[in-house]
Amino acid sequence: MSLYKTFRDPDFSLFQSVVEEVMAESPDAGVSFSPDGEVADPMVAAAISIGDLLENDEPLPEGGGVVSYAGLDLAEAARYCASNAWQLIRAKLRGDQEAVEQLQEELGPFSICDPRWAESVEKYLVKVKLKGKTIPYRTWNKINDYVFNDRLAANARIAIIGDWGTGQPAARAVLRQIVRQQPDIVIHLGDIYYSGTAREMRQNFLEVCRDILPTGTQLYTIPGNHDLYAGGKPFYDMLDEMGQPASFFALRNDNWQFLAMDSSLHDSDTFTVATNVTRLDEREALWHQQKLENNQGRKSVLLSHHQLFTAYGSVGSINKSPQPLNPLLYATFAPYLDKIDLWLWGHEHNLIIFEPYKGLQRGRCVGCSAIPVPQELNPYSTNPRLIDPPRFNNVRLSLDNKGVYNLGYAMIQLDGPSAQVDYYDASQEQHPVFSEMI
């Protein structure tokens, strides 16, 4: 049985959204996932297995004119139909009429495929049409736009979750646990899966937060790459509903400033020949720099979806060589690293406490709040292809009895000019796995 799984590919993420939406809206809908995060629906499972093949550059199952279930088990049939639906979408989008006709026949009313696959194809194409060409990003006019000076109490308690937008029972359990610690503010570091459709914004994020957070808890989010794969309009519509004016913002009091950035706007349009690392919008970069330059003695916490650096995968490649450090984010913040007291990011689904690296004292990855990571992925290993990767301390999330890493989050307790930051493994609610004073 496979686990809840997401993929980096924007188009395939949208396909996952559509398959789940069609499945959920059908009259005999069951659940997509069991309470412990295992895939329960055969269509959702089939989509994941196609994603796995695409990710590993392996060939997709070919129907070859399969017309009956004879000789095919149910899961195998679903995989064939998922592969067919995906290929039909690609053929339609590139206008390959011959392939369209053949695939359509194999997916049509006289085929073995559940009609919901054909429905998924149609729904996908509608979503692509509606997607719009540009993300409706909002820039600033005055340098103090999107700065909140009256929302961060001197003794505020701030919970940080990352890569949390699955809507799954495990994600809900993490937020319930956080509520027991009575935060004033909850900040999500982005990624509402699979592709940030209106339905996902509602069901995987806003409604869950409204269900679980007590009235009066402030809630903020910044975009992850997945939030924008459906075009970004649903993400911005949700911000409006939350009363958050933009995808980047600052929370400030006399002693602290939290600068939350949008690292995802350029995540999917940076695929040039030489590099594919993300960067900030140029005007937004100036906005953050101005706040660090004029910190007026405040300590600064940076919040982003993407990593400044990594040891596990890469932040992207330059001339095909995987990079441990994002040179574009680094260029933006390098002059101010001595003024940055803490930088929390997500994107990788893990809890990692890095050693000081390239001038940043405290880089921490907290993208561990919802996605199950099996032990086989070795999330605490270092990619041998990285040159001069960062080191990290010996803090590890624990494994559950099925060999899957437990989830986690961070909790920041301000106390005037100082703060205690606690990092939790959600299976050990009473004691943080790591604490630091800043």
Give the footprint of Fe ion on this chain (CB under 5 A). Answer: 191, 224-225, 347
- Among left, alpha and beta (phi > 0; psi -120 to 50; other), residue 260 is beta
Q: Please report the sign of the dihedral spanned by the C-alpha atoms of residue 380, residue 164, residue 425, residue 401.
A: negative
Q: For residues 188 and 298, which CB has a smaller minimum distance to Fe ion in the complex?
A: 188
Minimum separation from the CB atom of position 305 to Fe ion (A): 6
Smallest separation, CB 191 to Fe ion (Å): 5
Q: Shortest Cβ distance from residue 177 to Fe ion (Å)?
A: 22
Rounded distance, CA 161 to CA 163, Å?
7
CB atoms within 10 A of CB 431: 9
Tokens 């003695």 sit at which residue? 297
Between 225 and 244, CB nearer to Fe ion: 225
Does the bond joining 357 to the residue before it have cis omega, within 30 degrees of 0? no
**Minimal distance in Å, beta carbon 31 to Fe ion?**
25
Q: Closest distance between Fe ion and the C-beta of residue 316, in Å?
A: 12
Query: Shortest CA distance to 93 belongs to which of 207, 185, 204, 15?
Result: 15
Least distance to Fe ion, CB of residue 196, Å: 11
* Smallest separation (angstroms) from Fe ion to the CB of 208: 18
Most distant pair of Cα atoms in the chain: their distance: 73
| Position 294, amino acid | N
Q: What is the DSSP string of 307-356?
A: -SB-SSS-S-EETTEE-SB-HHHHHHHGGGGGG--EEEE-SSSSEEEBPP
Closer CB to Fe ion, 43 or 192, in the complex? 192
Instruction: Single out the residue of 244, 194, 248 nearest to residue 219, CA to CA.
Output: 244
Q: Which residue lies nearer to Fe ion by CB, 224 or 232? A: 224
CB 225, CB 263: distance < 8 Å: no
C-beta closer to Fe ion: residue 162 or 432: 162
Residue closer to Fe ion by CB (options 224, 234) is 224
Which one, of 247, 243, 165, lies nearest residue 209 by Cα?
A: 165
Which of 47/189 has CB closer to Fe ion?
Answer: 189
CB 226 to Fe ion: min, Å = 6
| Nearest distance in Å: CB 322, Fe ion | 17
CB of residue 225 to Fe ion, shortest distance in Å? 5
- Decide if 278 contacts 317 (C-beta within 8 A): no
Q: Which residues pair with 159 in a beta bridge?
A: 186, 411
Q: What is d(CA 368, CA 345) in angstroms, rounded to the nearest whole number? A: 10
- What is the enclosing helix (H) or strand (E) of 100? helix 97-107
| Burial classification of residue 57, based on how many CB atoms lie within 10 Å of its CB (0-12 exposed, 13-18 middle, 19 or more buried) | exposed
* CB nearer Fe ion, residue 346 or residue 390: 346
User: Of the two residues 120 and 225, which places its CB atom closer to Fe ion in the complex?
Assistant: 225
Pairing of strands 299-304, 256-260: parallel
Closer residue to Fe ion, CB minimum distance, 43 or 261: 261
